[in-house]
Amino acid sequence: MTRKTFVKESKELFRDGRVRIAMFIVILLMGISIWISTQHYQNINKQYETAKTAERNVWDNQGEKNPHSAAHYGTYAFKPKYPLSLIDQGVDKYVGSSIFLEAHKRNEAQFSAAADQTGLARFGDLTPDFMLLFMIPLLIILLGYNSFTKEHEMGTLTLLKSQGFSAWRWVLGKWMALFIPILTLTTVLFIVAGLILSNLKDFGIFDWNSLIWMYLLYTAYYIIFVNLILFISAKTKKSGISLVVALSVWIVSCLAIPKAASNIAEDKYPYPTRQEFAANVLKDKKQGLDGHNPWSKEAKLLKEKVLAEHGVDSIHKLPFNFDAYRMQKGEEHEADIYFKHYNYLKDQFTKQTKVYKGLAVFSPYLPTRFMSMAIAHTDYATHWNFADAAENYRIATQKFLNDDFAKNSAYGNWGYKADASFWKKLPVFEYSPPELTAVLSQNTLNLAVLSTWLLGSFALLSFIKKI
Amino acid sequence: MLSYNFKYELKLLLRSKWIQLLSIILLLLFGFSGYNGKEKVAKRKAAITAAQDEVKKNDEMMLQLLDSIEKGMQVSASRWTLPTSPMAVGNYHPRVAAMESQSMAFIATGQADLFTHYVKPKVSGDDAALNFTEMTSPVQLLFGSFDLAFVIVYLLPLLIIAFSYDILSAEKESGSLRLLASQPIGIQNWVLQKLSLRFLWLSVLVIVALVITLFILEIAWFSMFTAFMLFISIVLTYMLFWFALAFLVNLWVGSSAKNAISLLGLWVLFVLLIPSTLNQVSTTLHPMPSRTLLINEMRGLKAEVAKKQDKILDNFLRDHPEYAINDTTQTRGFYHRYMASQQLVKGELKPVITTYENQLQKQQAWVEKLKWASPAITVQESLNKMAGTSTGDYDHFRKQVVVFAETWRSYLTPFLYNNQNFTQKDYPELPQFVFLPKPESKLHLVPVILLGITTLLFGIGYISSKKFEERTVLTSF
C-alpha cells in the first residue's frame, strides 16, 4: 500500500507542469544564490587578508614613538568570514566588520554592509539561506497542499475506502512522496555546497561536521513543514482552502512572528541609543581614575597607596615611571566600566533571545534560523564573542605598551620613545570562533524546541487516520 | 443586474462571515502594527529630548565655569576640559544634531532601526568616522519590524488573494455558472462587478479599521489630512493592483486551486523575488568599495601625516596669514598641529568618501527607476518616504550633519589659531543645528501611475477574455 501510494503520488507530481516549473525555478535560484555567495565570500576574505596585513604593517613600522602615543594611534581588529557563511549569511550584513582598538576606549564594530545599501536591502537578499528558509517550505506547500483534498474532489476517497485499506500505510505513502523529492533536493544542495567549500583555497578550515549538522537541521525543518501541510490538506475539504491555510501558516511562522517577536523584544528589553550609551559610559568614567589626570582625588589616593607599598616618600624614587603606572591603572578602571556597560547590553540581548525562544513555540522558523546562524558562525552570539576577544586583545595591548613605558622611563619623562623594533613584539590578534560542540551546547533550548515541533507535528499526522 | 449582484454579494459575504472575519483581522493587524510604529516614534522623540536636555544642563555648568574663571576664581575641573579653551568647547560641549520625526513617521520603520537620529559632531575626529548607525540588535534588523507598511505591502495582498481567488471558479465548481450564463451579462462584466464590490467592501473595511486604529492610538491623523489622504490613495491603488491580478487569474486560469497557486506565485514574485533580485543586481552593478580597505587608506595617510605635522602646520599658517597677524603670542600646541593635519587628511580623503556617496546614489537612482517592476517596492519606498525614514532621508540628514560639523569646526578654529579664549560673551554665537526635512516630490504621482498600471491590466483582461470566453468558460465542465 505504502509503496503503491508513493509510486502513484510521485508519478502524479512529476507529470504536473507547475511542479516541474517550480522545481526548476527553485534549483535555478539556488544555483544563482550559491554562485553569488561564493563570489561575495571570496571577495570579502581577500579584502580581509589585505586589510589585516596592511594594518599590521602600519603598526610595525611606526618608528620611534612614545608607547602611549602608539596606544592612541591604535590598531584595528578585522572580523573574518567563515566557510559556512556561504550557506547562511545570518546577521553578518547588519554588524560591522572592523573594530578600532585604541587607548581608554572600547569601540564598537563599524561599517555594516546594510548601512551602505538602499532600502531595498531590507526586503532580503537572494542568498542560500533565503532559499532554504523561505522558498523550500513554499515548494513543500505547492507539492503537498492537495495531497488529500484531491481524493475528496475527485471522489477517489470512496473507492479507496471500499478497498479496506490501512490508513497509516496510505498516509506514509503520501508522506514519502512529498518528503523524498525535498530530501533529494536538500541532499544535492548540501553536497554541492560541501564540494565548493572544500575546494576553496586558503579560507579557513571547513568542517564537514558542521555542514552535516546544518543538513540535519534543515531536514528536520522540512519534515515539520511536510507534516503540517499534510495535516492541513487532510483536514480541509477543498484544495483552494487547503492552500490558503497552508500559506497562512507559512507567512505567520516565517514572516509575521519573527517581525512581531523583534518588536516585542525591543519593547520589553530596549537597547539604549548609541549616544545614551556613550553618555552613560562617560558619566561613569568621570567618577573614576583618569590615567591622564594626576590631580584628581582618585589619582592622589593611588599615589599614596603605591608610595606606602614601596616604602618611599616621593614618586621620583619609585623603580618605575609612575605616570605610566597610573595610566595602566586608569586603563584597567576604564576597561571595567566598559565591561559593565557592555554586559548590560549583553544582558538585554539574552533577555531578548528568551522572547524569541518563547515565541518559537508558534514558529518552527525561529529555532531553525537561530541554530543555522549559530552553526554558520554568522549569529549575534559569535559577533559578541569576536567583540569580546578584540576587547581582551585591546586590554592586553594597553598593558604591553604601558608596561614598557613604566619600565623604561623615569617619572615625568613624557618624551620617552620606544625603539622602532619594539612594535613587532606585540602578539598578532588571532581569533577563532567557538567550536561546534560549544555552539550546540549553547543552543540546547533551540534544539529542544525544534525537537518538540518535530514530535508534535508527527503527533498531528496520527490524527489523519480518521479521515 | 448590478444592484442585484450587489445585494447578493453582501448577503453572501455576511453569511459566510467573511466581512466579520476580515474586520477583526484588519483591526488586529493595524492595531498591533500601528502601536509598534507609535512606540518607535515615541522612543525616538524621547531620546532626542533627553539629549537636548543634557546639553542644556552641561551648558549651564559650562557658563558657570566660564563665569568663575572670568572673575578670576579657582576652579576644580581638569585643565584641558576648561571651556575657555575653544577645543574643549568643541569636544566636550558638542551640540545635538537631531533628525526630528515627521508626522507620518509611524507608518513605516524603513531605515529608522538601522540609523541613529542624532549625533554630536566634535571638532576632533574624522567626519568619515562619524557613526550614523544605531545600536540595535542585528537580529532585530534581520527580522525587520511589524509596522503598518509590512501589513500593507505583505499581508494585505494575501487577504485580497484569499478574498478573491475563487469568485468565478467557485460558481463553476458548484454549477451555478450555467444558471448565470443564461443571464444577459458578459462573463467579464460579471466578474468585474463582483470584484468591484469586493474591492469596495475591503476598501471600506481598511479605511474604517485604519481610522479606528489611529483614533485608539490617539494619533492626530486629521491634522495631517492631505498626507493621510495620499497614504490612503496609495494603499487603495495598491489593493486595486492585486484585484486586477485576481481578475486576470480568474478569467484565464481554471479551478480554484489553480487560481490560488497562480496568485500566490505572483505574490512570491512581486513581494519576495523581484525585490531581492533587484537588490542583488543593484549591488553588483554599483558595488560599494570596501570599507575595510578605506580604513587602510586612511591609516596610511595618517601615519604619513603624523610624521610631518610641523611642516603641515607651517604650510597651513602660510595659507592663513590672518592667524599670524591677529595673534601676538604665537604659541603653538598639540591642537594647532592636529587641526591643521586633520584638514589635510580630510582634503585627501574627500575623493574616496565621495565614491561611497556616489555609489549609494547610483544604487538609489537605479532602484528609483526599477521600482516599478514590482508595486510592492513602489509602495514600500513611497511609504518610507512619507514616513521620512527612507534611505534618501537619512542620506539627506547625514549631509546636513557633515555641513554642520564643518560649521562647528570653522566657528571654533579661529579662536584656536588666534590663541583667543572662549568667553561667556561668545556662547550665544555658538552654531546651532537646524534639521530640514527632505522636500518630498512626486509622491502624489505614485497612486496615479499605479492606477494606470491597474487599468491596463483590467483592460487586457477585458479584451483578451472576450475572444475565448464561450469556449473556455462553459465547456470546461
Residues A119 and B111 sit within 8 Å (Cβ to Cβ):
yes
Residue that has been written with the C-alpha cell 537646524 in this structure: B434
The pLDDT, as a whole number, for residue A219 is 94
Task: Answer for the pair A118, B364: CB distance below 8 angstroms, yes or no.
Answer: yes
Using a pLDDT cut of 70, give the percent of chain A over it.
95
Which class for B183: exposed (0-12), middle (13-18), buried (19 or more C-beta within 10 A)?
A: exposed
- Does the CB of B53 have a partner CB in chain A at under 8 Å? no
Look at residue A292 in the predicted model and tell me its pLDDT: 67
Q: Which residue has the cell 533628525?
A: B99
**Closest to B47 in 3D by CA, of B110, B107, B100:** B100
| A238 close contact with B: CB closer than 8 A | yes
Please count the other Cβ atoms lying within 10 Å of the Cβ belonging to residue A220.
Answer: 19
Q: Which residues of A touch B356 (CB under 8 A)?
A: 116
Asked if A411 reaches chain B (Cβ–Cβ under 8 Å), the answer is no
- Residues A204, B458: Cα–Cα separation, whole Å: 56
Q: Do A97 and B384 touch (CB under 8 A)?
A: no
Under 8 Å between Cβ of B140 and B222: no
pLDDT tens per residue, range A129-148:
888 999 899 989 988 888 88
Residue A220 pLDDT more than 90?
yes
* Residue among B9, B10, B130 at smallest CA distance from B404: B130
State the pLDDT confidence band at A167, using cuts at 50, 70 and 90: confident
Q: Nearest-CA neighbor of A222 among A169, A182, A271?
A: A182
CB B389 within 8 A of CB B111: yes
Contact: B139, A91; criterion CB under 8 Å: yes
CB atoms within 10 A of CB B347: 9
3-state SS track over chain A: CHHHHHHHHHHHHHHCHHHHHHHHHHHHHHHHHHHHHHHHHHHHHHHHHHHHHHHHHHHHCCCCECHHHHHHHCEEEECCCCHHHHCCCCCHHHCCCEEEEECCEECCCECCHHHHCCHHHHHCCCCHHHHHHHHHHHHHHHHHCCCCHHHHHHCHHHHHHHCCCCHHHHHHHHHHHHHHHHHHHHHHHHHHHHHHHHHCCCCCCCCHHHHHHHHHHHHHHHHHHHHHHHHHHHHCCCHHHHHHHHHHHHHHHHHHHHHHHHHHHHHHCCCCCHHHHHHHHHHHHHHCCCCCCCCCHHHHHHHHHHHHHHCCCCHHHCCCCHHHHHHHHHHHHHHHHHHHHHHHHHHHHHHHHHHHHHHHHHCCHHHHHHHHHHHCCCCHHHHHHHHHHHHHHHHHHHHHHHHHHHHHCCCCCCCCCECCCHHHHCCCCCCCCCCHHHHHHHCHHHHHHHHHHHHHHHHHHHHHHCC
What gap in Å lies between CA A463 and CA A232, rounded to an integer?
Answer: 11
Contacts with A55 from chain B: Cβ below 8 Å = 295-296, 299
Cα–Cα distance for residue pair B26/B201, rounded to 1 Å: 13
What is the grid cell recorded at A227?
507534516
Picking from B80, B119, B291, B298 by the largest number of A CB atoms within 10 A of its own CB, the best residue to mutate is B291
Specify the number of domains making up chain A: 1
Quickly state the pLDDT bin for B477 (edges 50, 70, 90): very low
Q: Rounded to an integer, what distance in angstroms lies between the CA atom of residue A195 and that of residue A34?
A: 12
For A431, phi and psi rounded to 5 degrees?
A: -135, 130
**Burial class of residue A132, CB neighbours in 10 A (0-12, 13-18, 19+):** buried
C-alpha dihedral sign at B461, B463, B464, B469 = positive
Q: Does A233 touch chain B (CB under 8 A)?
A: no
Q: Which residues of A touch B30 (CB under 8 A)?
A: none
- Calculate how close chain A gets to B360, using CA atoms only, in Å: 7
Contact call for A244 and B292, based on CB within 8 A: no
Domain that holds residue A110: 2-466
The answer to whether residue B301 neighbours chain A at the CB level (below 8 Å) is no
Most confident residue range from A23-27, A220-224, B158-162: A220-224
Gap from B256 CA to chain A (nearest CA, Å) = 5
**What is the average per-residue pLDDT within B140-157?**
90
Share of chain A above pLDDT 90, in %: 12
SS3 B97: strand
As for how many domains chain B has, the answer is 1
B174 touches A at CB < 8 Å: no
Q: Which helix (H) or strand (E) holds B120?
A: none
| pLDDT value of residue A226 | 93
CA distance A241 to chain B (A): 8
pLDDT for position A369: 92
pLDDT for residue B360: 77
The answer to ipTM > 0.90 is: no
Is the pLDDT assigned to residue B468 strictly greater than 80? no
For range B51-58, the mean pLDDT: 89
- Among A21-35, A282-296, B162-176, name the one with the lowest average pLDDT: A282-296
CA distances from B381 to A414, B282, B289, B448 (A): 57, 16, 25, 16
- Minimal CA–CA distance to B458: which of B245, B166, B299, B284? B245
Chain B, window 337-396: residues with a beta carbon less than 8 angstroms from a chain A beta carbon = 356, 359-360, 363-364, 367, 377, 380-381, 384, 390-391
Nearby residues of A275 by Cβ (< 8 Å), 6 or more positions away: B47, B51, B116, B118, B119, B120
Is residue B430 pLDDT above 70, yes or no? yes
Residue B353 lies in a domain: no
Query: Is A95 an 8 Å CB contact of chain B?
Result: yes
Mean model confidence pLDDT for chain A: 83
Stretch B284-296: mean pLDDT? 74
Residue A61 clears pLDDT 70, i.e. is over it = yes
Enumerate the β-bridge partners of residue B97: B119
Q: Under an 8 A CB cutoff, do B291 and A111 touch?
A: yes
Between the alpha carbon of residue B144 and those of residues A114, B34, B216, the distances in Å are 12, 15, 24
- Which residues contact residue A230 at a Cβ distance below 8 angstroms, ignoring those fewer than 6 apart? A144, A147, A148, A171, A174, A175, A178, A461, A464
- Output the CA torsion B453→B456→B462→B463 (10° steps): -150
Q: How far is B363 from chain A (nearest CA, A)?
A: 7
Measured between beta carbons, the chain B residues lying within 8 angstroms of A243 are 257, 260-261, 264
Smallest CA–CA distance, residue B302 to chain A, in Å, is: 9
Give the integer Cα–Cα distance in Å for A460 and A230.
Answer: 9
Q: Is A429 exposed, middle or buried (0-12, 13-18, 19+ CB in 10 A)?
A: buried
Say which residue, B302 or A237, is predicted with more confidence: A237
More confident position, B259 or B172: B259
- pLDDT of amino acid B330: 62
Torsion of CA A325, A327, A328, A329, to 10 degrees: 90
Task: For residue B372, give the 3-state DSSP assignment.
Answer: helix
Q: Which residues from B are below 8 Å from A112, CB to CB?
A: 114, 133, 138
Does residue B200 form part of some domain? yes
For residue B285, pLDDT beyond 80? no
| Residue B306 at interface with chain A, using a CB cutoff of 8 Å | yes
Tell me if B279 and A239 make a contact (CB, 8 A cut-off): no
pLDDT at B112 over 90: no
Cβ–Cβ gap B110/A119 under 8 Å: yes
Pick from B2, B30, B86: nearest CA to B429: B86
CB–CB contact A251 B47 (8 Å) = no
Mean pLDDT of B117-133: 78
Which pLDDT score, from 0 to 100, does residue B150 have?
Answer: 92
Distance CA A343, CA A357 (A): 21
Give the torsion sign (CA, A408, A413, A414, A420): negative
Q: Which of A58, A115, A238 sits opposite B256 (nearest CB)?
A: A238
CB pair distance less than 8 Å for A117 and B268:
no
For chain B, give the mean pLDDT.
81
Residue that wins the pLDDT comparison between B468 and A4 = A4
Looking at residue B357, its pLDDT comes to: 78
Strands A98-102 and A105-106: antiparallel
% chain B with pLDDT above 70? 90
Contact list in A for residue B358 (CB cut-off 8 A) is none
Are residues B22 and B205 in contact, defined by beta-carbon separation less than 8 angstroms?
Answer: yes
One-letter identity of residue B345: V
Do residues A86 and A375 lie in contact, with contact meaning Cβ atoms separated by under 8 Å?
no
Q: Which pLDDT value is given to residue A460?
A: 86
**Stretch A434-438: mean pLDDT, rounded?**
86
Residues forming a β-bridge with A75: A101
pLDDT at A202: 58
Place of cell 549625533: B119
Question: How many angstroms separate the CA atoms of A71 and A74, rounded?
Answer: 5
Q: Of A80-89, B280-289, B462-471, where does mean pLDDT reach its minimum?
A: B462-471
Q: Which of B140, B146, B276 lies at the smallest CB-CB distance from A123?
A: B276
Q: Which three cell numbers stand for residue A386?
A: 569576536
| Residue B338 resides in a domain | no
In this prediction, residue A224 has a pLDDT band, given cuts at 50, 70 and 90, of very high
Owning domain of residue B177: 2-30+147-284+448-475
pLDDT at B236: 92
* Three-class SS state of B121: coil
* Whether pLDDT at B76 is above 80: no
Average pLDDT over residues B106-131: 81
Coil, strand or helix at B433: coil
List, for residues B189-199, the tens digit of each pLDDT value. 777 888 888 88
Q: Which of A50-59, A355-364, B217-226 has the highest mean pLDDT?
A: A355-364
B270, three cell numbers: 512581486
Report the candidate in B128, B298, B296 with the shortest Cα–Cα distance to residue A56. Answer: B296
Q: Cβ of B295 and A98 within 8 Å?
A: yes
Lowest mean pLDDT among A6-10, A170-174, B265-269, B457-461: A6-10
Chain A residues with beta carbon closer than 8 angstroms to that of B162:
244, 248
What is the spatial distance between Cα A298 and Cα A280, in angstroms, rounded to a whole number?
20
- A:299-328 residues touching chain B, CB 8 A cutoff: none
Task: Flag whether residue B331 sits within 8 Å of chain A, measured between CB atoms.
Answer: no
Tell me the pLDDT tens digit for each residue of A244-278: 888 889 988 998 899 999 999 988 898 888 888 88
Amino acid residing at A194: G
When pLDDT is averaged across residues B36-52 and rounded to a whole number, the result is 89
Q: What is the pLDDT of residue A222?
A: 94
Residue A122 contacts B where some CB pair is shorter than 8 Å? yes
- A393: closest CA among A425, A426, A346? A426
* Cβ contact B338:B87 at 8 Å: no
Query: Does the beta carbon of A258 lie under 8 angstroms from any beta carbon of chain B?
Result: yes
Instruction: Residue B387: name the closest of B104, B76, B54, B149 by CA.
Output: B104
Whether residue B416 contacts residue B335, with contact meaning beta carbons closer than 8 Å, is answered with yes
**How large is the average pLDDT for residues B448-468?**
80
Q: Which range among B4-8, B107-111, B370-374 shows the weakest confidence by mean pLDDT?
A: B4-8
Q: What is the mean pLDDT of residues B399-412?
A: 88
Nearest CA in chain A to B258: A240
> What is the per-residue pLDDT across A379-408, written as a single tens digit (0 to 9) for each?
888 898 898 898 889 888 888 888 887 777
Alpha-carbon distance B456 to nearest alpha carbon in chain A (angstroms): 26
Give the number of residues written for chain A.
467
Contact with chain A for residue B129, Cβ under 8 A: yes
Tell me how far apart the alpha carbons of residues B33 and B148 are, in angstroms, rounded to a whole number. Answer: 5
The pLDDT value recorded for residue B476 is: 46
Is B257 contained in some domain? yes
Please check whether residue B104 is in contact with residue B224, taking contact to mean a CB–CB distance below 8 angstroms.
Answer: yes
Query: To the nearest whole angstrom, how far is the Cα of B427 from the nearest Cα of chain A?
Result: 23
Each residue's pLDDT tens digit, A274-304: 888 888 888 887 777 666 666 677 777 777 7
B325 — pLDDT class (breaks 50, 70, 90): low
